């Protein structure tokens, strides 16, 4: 009998895995590319590229309601993608999976639809001090429109949430929206505990899982999270498509986000009745090829073994943290005990832009700046950071090149 509880004991063969990603074989300014900007976007394996090519070559047709053969195949492919996502995040039903353009659209959808239905003057929304602008601005817009209040869970010097006052902060809150892992600091937030605290006061929670899906075990039922959003391109899938998960009982209560085709049942000039989940929230022709690509990405990712991926990334993060600490004057921004994916740092008083530029000249791709999290930078009184973000396909040899690159930058700039 097959059982799904067997943990894949195989260790990831990184050199073999790297061959699955064509872009990792390229050179930049004559150096083999070291790609450490994975928190911004991840690279795509052949499996995804081929699935999308095959979709356009053999299957492409508009989905749903088509009487013809191709339309049926396209619908199967598109809905197959939805099924894979549902399985991947352990949703109870496939219709709890809404295809969006990305995390940002998922958050905006909830801000708009939840806002319309539930937010009144004087209500409050709670976020944290380490949110990406995508999880700040939609709420500010909603609060402005509804004369509601935006409250913020503070962070400490290490980049961890201060939760002592959480119960008091939750008082009067209608929705808590927060990231699982911070894109600027790499902090893994104790979301299970926070969701439970919110639920004790009857408050639903939206998780921004943009930086978490590729590093964590995602089980929306175990988390008991009410909404969860992520982007395909951060988990080795194509750009332009993302996921909003919502518990059926919540999604059924929310009004549609956009109007158009697909989301309706009947339309007359007097009245329109809306379609069932998930179509109520998917106005217009959806990104069929994107759904197929995302499905292929999840297949690929699960094929590697999620725990093998996590082990490889944990080992690499530990190696990188230690290796980088050996550089004199280097300090990490965000020293949470539980970090994943992201190493944000500064060296002495070297401007992050200067460091990024010298690393780039050595073929090392990192991100510099405020990482769309200006309040986090203000918290530490810095203009930005240099952020190296790792994936399972990065190697210890690449980390060594990063460290050598940083030393070179220090000698040029210092």
Partner 1 sequence: MTIKEEQDEIIADFEFFGGWEDKYEYIIQMGKELPPLDEKYKIEENLIRGCQSRVWLHADPKDGKLVFTADSDAVITKGLVSMVIRVLSDHTPKEIAEAEIYFIDAIGLRDHLSPTRSNGLLSMLKQIKLYALAFQAKSLQP
Q: Which spans of this chain sit near partner 1 (rule: CB under 8 A)? A: 29, 351-354, 356-358, 361, 368-370, 383-384, 412-413
Residue 193's CB is within 10 A of a number of other CB atoms, namely 12
Give dist(CA 207, CA 89) in Å, integer.
13
What minimum distance in Å lies between the beta carbon of 413 and partner 1?
6
Tokens linked to 11: 């260790």
Catalytic residue list contains 372 = yes
What minimum distance in Å lies between the beta carbon of 330 and partner 1?
18
Residue 40's CB is within 10 A of a number of other CB atoms, namely 16
Spatial contact of 87 and 296, defined as CB atoms under 8 Å apart: no
Q: Of the two residues 36 and 358, which places its CB atom closer to partner 1 in the complex?
A: 358
Tokens linked to 209: 């899982």
Describe the strand order of the beta sheet including 342-347 as a list of residue ranges.
Answer: 330-332, 342-347, 385-389, 367-369
Residue 140's CB is within 10 A of a number of other CB atoms, namely 15
The helix (run of H) or strand (run of E) holding residue 125 is: strand 124-128
Q: Of the two residues 311 and 357, which places its CB atom closer to partner 1 in the complex?
A: 357
Give dist(CA 12, CA 311) in Å, integer.
9
Q: Of the two residues 303 and 383, which places its CB atom closer to partner 1 in the complex?
A: 383
Tokens linked to 210: 């943009």
What minimum distance in Å lies between the beta carbon of 251 and partner 1?
36
What minimum distance in Å lies between the beta carbon of 68 and partner 1?
43
Query: Is the CA virtual torsion 73, 76, 82, 83 positive or negative?
Result: negative
What minimum distance in Å lies between the beta carbon of 37 and partner 1?
14
Q: Of the two residues 36 and 181, which places its CB atom closer to partner 1 in the complex?
A: 36
Q: Of the two residues 115 and 352, which places its CB atom closer to partner 1 in the complex?
A: 352
Nearest to 112 by CA among 62, 177, 43, 188: 177
**Which residues pair with residue 388 across a beta bridge?**
343
Of 33, 166, 283, 372, the catalytic one is 372
Task: Give the active site residues.
Answer: 372
């Amino acid at each position: 009998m097959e059982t799904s509880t067997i943990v894949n004991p195989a260790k990831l063969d990184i050199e073999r895995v790297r061959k699955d990603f064509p872009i990792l074989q390229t050179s930049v300014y004559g150096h083999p590319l070291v790609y450490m900007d994975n928190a911004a976007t991840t690279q795509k394996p052949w499996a995804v590229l081929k699935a999308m090519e095959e979709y356009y070559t053999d299957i492409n047709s508009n989905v749903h309601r088509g009487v013809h053969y191709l339309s049926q195949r396209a619908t199967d492919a598109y809905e197959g993608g939805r099924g894979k996502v549902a399985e991947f995040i352990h949703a109870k039903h496939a219709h709890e999976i809404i295809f969006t353009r990305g995390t940002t659209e998922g958050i905006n959808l909830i801000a708009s639809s939840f806002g319309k239905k539930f937010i009144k003057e004087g209500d409050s929304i709670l976020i944290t001090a380490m949110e990406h602008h995508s999880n700040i601005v939609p709420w500010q817009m909603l609060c402005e429109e509804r004369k509601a209040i935006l409250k913020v869970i503070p962070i400490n010097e290490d980049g961890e949430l201060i939760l002592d006052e959480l119960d008091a902060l939750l008082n009067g809150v209608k929705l808590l929206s927060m990231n699982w892992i911070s894109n600027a600091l790499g902090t893994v937030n104790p979301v299970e505990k926070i969701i439970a605290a919110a639920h004790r006061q009857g408050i639903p929670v939206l998780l921004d899982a943009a930086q978490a899906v590729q590093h964590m075990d995602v089980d929306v039922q175990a988390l008991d999270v009410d909404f969860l959003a992520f982007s395909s391109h951060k988990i080795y899938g194509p750009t332009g498509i993302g996921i909003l998960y919502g518990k059926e009982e919540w999604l059924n209560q929310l009004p549609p986000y956009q109007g158009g085709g697909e989301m309706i049942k009947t339309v007359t000039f007097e009245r329109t009745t809306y379609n069932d989940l998930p179509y109520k929230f998917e106005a217009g022709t959806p990104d069929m090829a994107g759904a197929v690509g995302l499905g292929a990405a999840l297949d690929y990712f699960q094929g590697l073994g999620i725990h093998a991926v996590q082990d490889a990334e944990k080992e690499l993060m530990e190696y990188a943290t230690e290796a980088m600490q050996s550089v004199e004057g280097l300090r990490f921004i965000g020293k949470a005990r539980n970090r994943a994916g992201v190493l944000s740092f500064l060296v002495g008083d070297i401007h992050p832009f200067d460091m990024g530029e010298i690393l780039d000249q050595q073929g090392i791709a990192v991100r510099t700046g405020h990482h769309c999290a200006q309040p986090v930078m203000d918290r530490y009184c810095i203009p930005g950071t240099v952020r190296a973000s790792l994936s399972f396909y990065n190697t210890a040899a690449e980390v060594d090149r990063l460290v050598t690159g940083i030393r070179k930058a220090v000698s040029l700039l210092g």
